[in-house]
Structure 1
Amino acid sequence: MYPNSLTQLTRANPFSAPLFTLQKVEEPSQSLAAEHGLSKRTLAAAAVAEGDSCEFGSSHYFIMCGIGGILSCGTTHTALVPLDLVKCRLQVDPDKYKSIFKGFSITIKEDGMRGLAKGWAPTFIGYSMQGLCKFGFYEVFKITYSDFIGEENTYLWRTSLYLAASASAEFFADIALAPMEACKVRIQTCPGYASNLRQCAPKMFAEEGIWAFYKGVVPLWMRQIPYTMMKFACFERTVELLYKHVVPKPRAECSKSEQLVVTFVAGYIAGVFCAIVSHPADSVVSVLNKESGSSAIGVLKKLGPKGVWKGLVARIIMIGTLTALQWFIYDSVKVYFRLPRPPPPEMPESLKKKLGLTE
């Protein structure tokens, strides 16, 4: 279990709920830890390990994870604005933009090269806020839920833990993202409506009020929560499998650069699955934010079963690259700031005894 200091921190989490009220945890003595062959490092963050800049699970650790999320999501989404713009236009007007290459050629012909950068400002702001909440809260919820279910269940149900923590984090991340996502789509898919964020946001508010910025939050949840659940759970388990079956030596013996290569590969694999599970909802969000007065159900009926899959190839390329780069940048931030890394998932000694795996 995690120590009293971390338990108090997670209790103070502003998003805690009665369901996840934590039990009082007694700190195990050093002799007990030694008896079970467990180090203080795996049980707690009572002291900063040699080479680390902070305690695992400390407020400083969570803040730095949030900063890593800002850098990983804000920069990557902004860099891929041209592809995202063509993808959105392909979704909302497939008769005009028949393919990725056709979409690029038409956009450049009509708006010039600068037209490919439309929507960069709301993209950068919105996805920076989303990254802060997504990665920062994921770490908070993962520790909170792990403390709640106990060490043995954390190992046995670790995939479910990753899914629950990522879904909880993304719920709040999408609330932070929704206003800027609405502005971005309106700028990119409505020619002549607004050319930048300064023009778009006031105009949307004057026409539809505050609802204009949040009418897409439910479709965002439909798109982003499955996406993020896949992004984190698939990544965590892929990393585990790569080190177990592909990488010829344990993670602790790998250099930082070797670990980052594994991170990038696992991130790309996770990104492909993310794109597939979240694409139908992404199509709904694009059309919904383009057309004022529309509803998610109405858009879904209008697109039909085939229409929601328009632009899937572009999204796979975009999200695969995006997710791999995000994990690479996020892990690089952890390396640069010397953040502590939890050990790979291992079966607790107590569980081994219960299963008769120890002498």
Structure 2
Amino acid sequence: MASQQAVESVEEFDYEDLQGVPLSVSMLAGSLAGISEHAVMFPVDVIRTRMQILSTPGAAPAYTSVLNALNRITTAEGAKSLWRGVNSVILGAGPAHALYFGTYEVVKDMTGGNREGHQWASTAFAGASATVASDAFMNPFDVIKQRMQMQGSAYRSVATCARTIYANEGIRAFYISYPTTLTMTVPFTAVQFSVYEWAKKVLNPSETYSPMTHVTAGGFSGAVAAAVTNPLDVAKTLLQTRGSSTDTQIRSASGMLEAMKIIKQREGMKGFARGLSPRVLTFMPSNALCWLSYEGFRFFLSKQT
């Protein structure tokens, strides 16, 4: 009887009541969701980075598929290499996602995104604002992560990698990709949040707490946003790994337009599709996990408070 009442209590808890939860709860939920998302999907992210890096003369041939990359990496370097750099993500993802979801909830509320009906403009603007704030914090950690993910990387710790990059390339190296990152993540986040909020309301009009809804809507919105912004992600990877390249032209790339010019010159438009499959394979489940974790943590933390 008691268990039945508990189930009924959860079912009757209107998800709209979460609009009034403390900001600290949303930020804590976002932090836990970010760590969960990035840690679980890290090996696929390693494959994406490897597939997006342009081949240089004398280097090993490019990876032809996700399975080809997985087989070559584990055979030549061992399965452990798929987790190299994960510490950088864990250190940055917690605070960055707390800032991300905290900003999103505040801006969405301020711009009327919590009103009845689907507020496309509000959710898109709130998502874009969230990514500007969180990426400013996360960008250096992302640079360190990708340097450690590269084939033949000598870096074995986050601190060593950070010190070496700073000594050889200066503070600029940690932020040279930030404009490109924003050019990519602002539309990514705007698309993702808008599609997510729309799909969530279509799948669950009553807006009661529904884990299956959050998983489905999160996965779908992540796949759409990842596919749309993949060309910019290829350019970002070139900029973030240029310091470890032996190619003079790549090492001298100073911005997004120059990076895109190099990609187009060498591989044509197909070059911008590099890493598309692992990127979608990364963001579809990771976005589903992120939203499931975030909404779940918010729900249960708000129940506790």
Q: Shared fold by TM > 0.5? A: yes
Residue matched to 2:149: 188
Kindly state the Cα deviation for residue 66 of structure 1 after the two structures are TM-superposed.
Answer: 0.9
Deviating runs (4+, > 4 A) in structure 1?
55-58, 154-157
Residue 320 in structure 1 maps to residue 284 in structure 2: yes
Query: For residues 197 and 222 of structure 1, do their structure 2 counterparts lie closer, same or farther at Cα, with a shift above 3 Å needed?
Result: same
SS across alignment from 1:123? helix
Query: For residues 242 and 190 of structure 1, do their structure 2 counterparts lie closer, same or farther at Cα, with a shift above 3 Å needed?
Result: same
Kindly state the Cα deviation for residue 190 of structure 1 after the two structures are TM-superposed.
Answer: 5.2
Alpha-carbon distance in structure 1 between the residues aligned to 2:35 and 2:225: 18
- Contact 2:18 2:302 survives alignment (8 Å): no
Kindly state the Cα deviation for residue 282 of structure 1 after the two structures are TM-superposed.
Answer: 1.1
Alpha-carbon distance in structure 2 between the residues aligned to 1:102 and 1:157: 42
Kindly state the Cα deviation for residue 185 of structure 1 after the two structures are TM-superposed.
Answer: 0.9
SS across alignment from 1:319? helix
- Contact 1:231 1:323 survives alignment (8 Å): no
Mark the runs of 5 or more structure 2 residues left unpaired by the alignment. Answer: 1-11, 56-60, 244-251
Q: Could you say which structure has the greater relative contact order, defined with CA pairs below 8 angstroms and 6 or more residues apart?
A: 2
Q: Deviations over 1:122-164 (max 9, x none)?
A: 11122223211211110000111229xxx9xx55771111001
Query: For residues 219 and 193 of structure 1, do their structure 2 counterparts lie closer, same or farther at Cα, with a shift above 3 Å needed?
Result: farther
Alpha-carbon distance in structure 1 between the residues aligned to 2:141 and 2:103: 20
Q: Structure 2 matches for 1:348-359, cutoff 5 A?
A: none
Please identify, of 154-163 and 301-310, the stretch whose mean Cα deviation from structure 2 is larger: 154-163
Match of 2:272 among 308, 316, 336: 308
Q: Which amino acid aligns with 1:227?
A: F
Residue matched to 2:240: 289
Structure with the bigger percentage of helix = 2
Residue 168 in structure 1 maps to residue 134 in structure 2: no
Match of 2:44 among 83, 95, 102: 83
Kindly state the Cα deviation for residue 320 of structure 1 after the two structures are TM-superposed.
Answer: 0.5
Alpha-carbon distance in structure 1 between the residues aligned to 2:44 and 2:302: 34
Q: Deviations over 1:2-45 (max 9, x none)?
A: xxxxxxxxxxxxxxxxxxxxxxxxxxxxxxxxxxxxxxxxxxxx
TM-score normalised per structure 1: 0.71
- Contact 1:260 1:328 survives alignment (8 Å): yes
- Contact 1:81 1:118 survives alignment (8 Å): no
Residue matched to 1:139: 105
TM-score normalised per structure 2: 0.83
Q: Deviations over 1:297-333 (max 9, x none)?
A: 2211111222111111111111110111100000110
% same residue? 23
Alpha-carbon distance in structure 2 between the residues aligned to 1:89 and 1:168: 30
- Contact 1:72 1:327 survives alignment (8 Å): yes
Alpha-carbon distance in structure 1 between the residues aligned to 2:160 and 2:63: 26
Alpha-carbon distance in structure 1 between the residues aligned to 2:282 and 2:195: 18
Mark the runs of 5 or more structure 1 residues left unpaired by the alignment. Answer: 1-49, 245-249, 341-359
Residue 101 in structure 1 maps to residue 67 in structure 2: yes
Residue matched to 1:335: 299
Match of 1:260 among 211, 216, 227: 211
- Contact 1:65 1:334 survives alignment (8 Å): yes
RMSD: 2.3
Kindly state the Cα deviation for residue 229 of structure 1 after the two structures are TM-superposed.
Answer: 1.1
Q: Deviations over 1:274-316 (max 9, x none)?
A: 1112211111111111112422222111112221111111111
Alpha-carbon distance in structure 2 between the residues aligned to 1:57 and 1:106: 47
Q: Which amino acid aligns with 1:328?
A: L
Q: Which amino acid aligns with 1:285?
A: K
Kindly state the Cα deviation for residue 96 of structure 1 after the two structures are TM-superposed.
Answer: 2.5
Alpha-carbon distance in structure 1 between the residues aligned to 2:287 and 2:118: 24
Residue matched to 1:235: 196
